[in-house]
Chains A and B, each alone.
Chain A
């Protein structure tokens, strides 16, 4: 079970429910037991998706670059989100570390 304290801004998480099930996103805000998610693609930074923390799974990746920008109130770009996710090996609902580790199931 994911607890609110476990989730950081900039964290890469995976959706467990809804039409975006299986897809990976970056946390842009946390409010109580809800998180706001964006991936620069299905969910653009201008309109992040609000999700219950019950419906997400965390990964070990926190994108510091994006976390810092959010903290400083700087502008975020969809391209940056797509690039950061893809360079960590996340594409759509596929997660493959760049060295080619086995795919992780939800």
Chain B
């Protein structure tokens, strides 16, 4: 069942979205060679709580932290630890928060120090894939128009899209209907109508699209060990076009 959100509910989602965006802005500043992912988690949790919200990921199916920190060949769901970032790394940070009963979810991939050109291109293409997906989130389109646009953009640029993990509806719950895959043919799935709120999140790999889960039961890694990038925004479908809720 897809829940449609009223204008008032969208305001509440915009509020929590703002908090998520502010966390990402602060973390972008903090990411430097030498910092631990646990420190990034602390910074994020501090801001979320001081803003009157709750970290949405913490405790979700037992996830132990407030953010996911996925480095290099890690795709998503990396757990913050004492691991120090070093120059040449890339880190994907996923932040989720809940306030007044509504959720916000966004992610960015950041270079650490000096990163090689092809890896920078991976990051830019992943960001571009999210842009391209957002532009499809208009009334009258079908859900898979988003999926198809993301896949085409990524593959035209020589990278691959992860199949096993997908975007999702979001609202009073972190994960709601409908799933939002990053691949597929256009013209399928529910028709997009005003009030739908979707977390669109392309996960893009340099090599094979295949992924697997590490022994910790959480961290998803590429099967070929090559790098992966991830960007995400929470987007409302409105009469006037897509509205990014996860902005400052």
Contact = CB atoms under 8 A, between A and B. Distances in A.
Nearest to A93: B131
A9 to B, nearest CB: 22
A87 B29 CA distance: 17
Contacts of B204: none
Nearest to B233: A91
A87 B245 CA distance: 11
B161 interface: no
Nearest to B247: A86
B241 interface: yes
A92 B25 CA distance: 14
A94 B127 contact: no
Given A83-B248, A94-B135, A100 B25 contact: no
A99 B131 contact: no
Interface in B112-171: 124, 127-128, 130-131, 134-135
B244 A79 contact: no
Interface in A92-106: 92-94, 96, 98-103
Contact of A100 (B28, B128, B131, B243): B243
Contacts of A42: 124
A86 B248 contact: yes
Number of chain B interface residues as a range: 20 to 34
Contact-size category for A:
10 to 19
Contacts of B128: 92-93
Interface string B23-36: 00110110000000
Given A92-B127, A100-B241, A79 B134 contact: no
B245 to A, nearest CB: 9
A88 B243 CA distance: 12
B202 interface: no
A91 B247 contact: yes
A82 interface: yes
Contact of B241 (A78, A87, A102): A102
Contacts of B248: 83, 86-87
A78 B111 CA distance: 15
B238 interface: yes
Contacts of A93: 128, 131
A101 B240 CA distance: 5
B133 to A, nearest CB: 10
Contact of A83 (B25, B238, B241): B25
Nearest to A41: B28
Nearest to B236: A100
16 contacts: A79-B28, A79-B29, A87-B247, A91-B131, A92-B127, A94-B134, A94-B135, A94-B244, A96-B241, A96-B243, A98-B14, A98-B247, A100-B241, A101-B240, A101-B241, A103-B241
Interface of B: 14, 21, 25-26, 28-29, 124, 127-128, 130-131, 134-135, 233, 236, 238, 240-244, 247-248
Given A82-B28, A92-B128, A96-B244, 12 more contacts: A78-B29, A79-B26, A82-B25, A86-B21, A86-B247, A91-B244, A92-B131, A93-B131, A98-B14, A98-B243, A100-B242, A102-B240
